[in-house]
C-alpha cells in the first residue's frame, strides 16, 4: 500500500506516477482480483456501468466478480435493486436504485446540456406542454420510444418526432423495464417513470458533492477534469474546493492536482495485475480526461477512427496491454487477442504452461466450444514471443445463450472474456503473466 502524506496543511503533496494511478484504479474497479459480492454492491462500488448496449454489463460484471452468473444481474434488475437509465453523460448506465434517486437531480444540468444536440430541431418543442403529456402516457403503461414518439407526434404534429423522443428521454427521469430476454432488455425496450418503478421519490438535493465522493471511491485519485469527464457536469472545481478538507491531495507526473478519499486503496506500483478482458465502452475507459493511466496515448485510436462494423476491439491487460479483436459472423465468431507491445519477461512474468488451459466457455446447455488443433503441442496455442501476453487461443464456436458461463480455475495471469456480436458469443482465453 502506498503511503499518503498530508497535503491540505501545506505539506508538499506526494507525486503519483502513472503505474501507481493504474494500480489504484484497477483495485477500485475490481480488476486486480475477482471479488465475492452482490451485483448491487458491485455496481455501487464501480460507480455504475456503461450500458448503452444491454450486453456489456454482463461481461463487465463477469470479469470482476467470482462466481458471477447472468441470472444474478437479471435478479437485481427485476428486483429493482439496479436500474438501466439515462444517467451519466446523458447516456444509458446501470446504477443502483439508491444512487439513481440520489444523483438524478444533481445530473439534471447534464440532461439540459444534452438538448443542444437537437439544434434547430428543438425550435418547435414546448417542454411545458410536452412533458406533462409524456408523463400521462407513461403513467398509463410503459412504452418503448418508437411507440411513444408516434403517440407524441399525434399530439404535437408540428414538432420533429425524434426531437420529441429525445426531449422526453433526457428531461424526464425514466428507467427501462427489464424482461426475460437473454441480456435482460430487448432492442427496443420500454421505459417507465423512475419514481413509479422504484416506489419512492427522487432526492431533491441538487448538490453533486456525494456524486463526486462516489466518483473518487470508484476511480480516484483523479483531477477535477476527470470527474467532469465521467459525469458530464461542468464547473466542479468549486465542489472539490468545498470537499478539500475531507480529501487527500497528490500531484501526477505532469504536476496536476489529484484528489482522493483518505482511506481509499492505493496499492504499490509493483502490485501484480492479471490481464483482464473488458467489454466495449467499459466505464474504466471513459472515466478520466487523461486516460494514460489505463492505455498509453500511442495506443489510442486516432481522432475519427472507427472500427469496421464486424470488428470490435476490447482492451485486455493492466495498462492497455492488448486488445481482443472480434471478427464475428452470423453463426460464429473469431476472437483474437493482440498485444500492443512486447515487454520483457521480468516485467510480465512467465506464463504458466502447465497442463491444458481451462476452457472457460460460455456455452448453451453445457456444450463446450472446441479449440481447433494447431499441430504439435497444446491445442490452439499461438506463440507471439516473449512478453507479448505470451500465448493466445483462438476459439471458434457458435454460441447462442448467455445462461451458462464458467470461469478459469485461477486468476494467475489469465485474461478471459466474451466477444461477439448480438447474442453470438466467442470465448477467448490466454495468459497475461502477473
Mean pLDDT computed over 343-361: 34
Angle at 319 between CA 20 and CA 397, to 5 degrees: 145
CA distance 95 to 85: 8
- 246 CB contacts (<8 Å, ≥6 apart)? 213, 262
Instruction: Give, for 132, the enclosing helix (H) or strand (E).
Output: helix 127-140
Residue (of 30, 74, 96) closest to 282 by Cα position: 30
> Would the pTM of this model clear 0.85, i.e. be above it?
no
CA distance 329 to 312: 12
The conformation of residue 222, written as its DSSP 8-state character, comes to B
With cell 470465448, the residue in question is 427
Segment among 9-23, 120-134, 316-330, 379-393 with least mean pLDDT: 379-393
Residue 295 — pLDDT band, cuts 50, 70, 90? confident
- 61 CB contacts (<8 Å, ≥6 apart)? 39, 42, 43, 49, 68, 72, 73
Residue predicted with more confidence, 401 or 72: 72
What would the pLDDT profile of 181-199 be if each residue is shown by its tens digit? 999 999 999 999 999 999 9
For the chain, which residues make up each domain, given as ranges?
Answer: 13-104+173-281, 109-172, 311-434
Residue 374 — pLDDT band, cuts 50, 70, 90? very low
- 164 CB contacts (<8 Å, ≥6 apart)? 125, 130, 149, 152, 153, 156
Other Cβ atoms less than 10 A from the Cβ of 434: the count is 17
Task: Identify the burial level of 283 via C-beta atoms within 10 angstroms of its C-beta, where 0-12 means exposed, 13-18 middle and 19 or more buried.
Answer: buried
Residue 282 — pLDDT band, cuts 50, 70, 90? very high
pLDDT of residue 420 exceeding 70: no
Residue 431 — pLDDT band, cuts 50, 70, 90? very low
Angle at 101 between CA 266 and CA 80, to 5 degrees: 95
Residue predicted with more confidence, 4 or 156: 156
Amino acid at each position: 500500500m502506498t503511503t499518503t502524506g498530508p497535503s491540505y496543511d501545506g505539506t508538499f503533496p506526494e507525486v503519483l506516477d502513472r503505474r501507481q494511478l493504474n494500480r489504484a484504479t484497477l483495485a477500485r474497479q475490481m480488476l486486480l482480483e475477482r471479488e465475492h459480492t452482490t451485483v448491487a454492491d458491485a455496481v455501487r462500488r464501480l460507480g455504475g456501468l456503461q450500458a448503452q448496449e444491454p450486453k456489456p454489463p454482463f461481461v463487465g460484471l463477469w470479469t470482476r466478480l467470482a462466481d458471477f452468473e447472468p441470472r444474478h444481474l437479471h435478479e437485481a434488475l427485476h428486483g429493482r435493486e439496479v436500474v438501466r437509465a439515462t444517467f451519466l453523460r446523458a447516456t444509458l448506465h446501470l446504477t443502483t436504485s439508491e444512487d439513481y434517486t440520489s444523483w438524478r437531480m444533481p445530473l439534471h444540468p447534464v440532461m439540459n446540456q444534452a438538448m443542444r444536440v437537437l439544434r434547430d430541431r428543438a425550435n418547435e418543442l414546448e417542454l411545458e406542454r410536452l412533458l406533462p403529456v409524456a408523463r400521462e402516457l407513461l403513467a398509463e403503461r410503459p412504452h418503448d420510444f418508437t411507440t411513444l414518439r408516434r403517440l407524441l407526434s399525434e399530439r404535437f404534429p408540428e414538432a420533429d418526432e425524434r426531437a420529441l423522443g429525445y426531449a422526453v428521454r433526457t428531461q424526464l427521469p425514466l428507467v427501462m423495464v427489464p424482461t426475460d430476454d437473454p441480456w435482460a432488455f430487448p432492442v427496443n425496450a420500454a421505459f417507465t417513470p423512475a419514481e413509479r418503478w422504484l416506489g419512492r421519490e427522487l432526492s431533491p438535493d441538487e448538490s453533486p458533492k456525494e456524486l463526486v465522493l462516489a466518483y473518487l471511491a470508484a476511480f480516484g485519485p483523479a483531477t477535477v477534469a476527470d470527474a467532469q469527464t465521467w459525469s458530464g457536469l461542468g464547473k466542479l472545481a468549486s465542489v472539490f474546493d468545498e470537499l478539500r478538507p475531507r480529501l487527500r491531495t497528490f500531484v501526477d507526473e505532469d504536476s496536476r492536482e489529484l484528489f482522493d478519499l483518505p482511506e481509499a486503496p492505493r496499492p504499490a506500483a509493483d502490485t501484480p495485475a492479471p490481464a483482464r478482458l473488458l467489454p466495449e465502452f467499459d466505464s474504466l475507459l471513459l472515466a478520466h480526461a487523461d486516460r494514460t493511466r489505463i492505455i498509453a496515448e500511442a495506443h489510442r485510436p486516432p481522432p475519427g477512427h472507427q472500427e469496421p462494423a464486424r470488428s470490435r476491439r476490447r482492451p485486455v491487460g493492466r495498462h492497455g496491454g492488448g486488445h481482443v479483436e472480434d471478427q464475428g459472423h452470423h453463426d460464429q465468431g473469431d476472437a483474437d487477442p493482440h498485444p500492443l507491445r512486447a515487454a520483457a519477461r521480468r516485467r510480465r512474468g512467465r506464463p504458466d504452461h502447465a497442463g491444458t488451459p481451462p476452457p472457460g466457455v460460455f456455452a448453451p446447455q453445457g456444450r463446450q466450444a472446441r479449440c481447433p488443433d494447431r499441430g504439435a503441442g497444446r491445442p490452439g496455442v499461438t506463440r507471439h514471443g516473449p512478453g507479448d501476453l505470451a500465448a493466445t487461443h483462438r476459439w471458434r464456436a457458435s454460441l447462442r445463450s448467455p445462461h451458462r458461463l464458467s470461469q478459469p480455475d485461477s486468476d494467475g495471469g489469465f485474461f478471459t472474456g466474451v466477444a461477439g456480436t448480438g447474442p453470438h458469443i466467442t470465448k477467448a482465453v490466454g495468459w497475461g503473466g502477473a
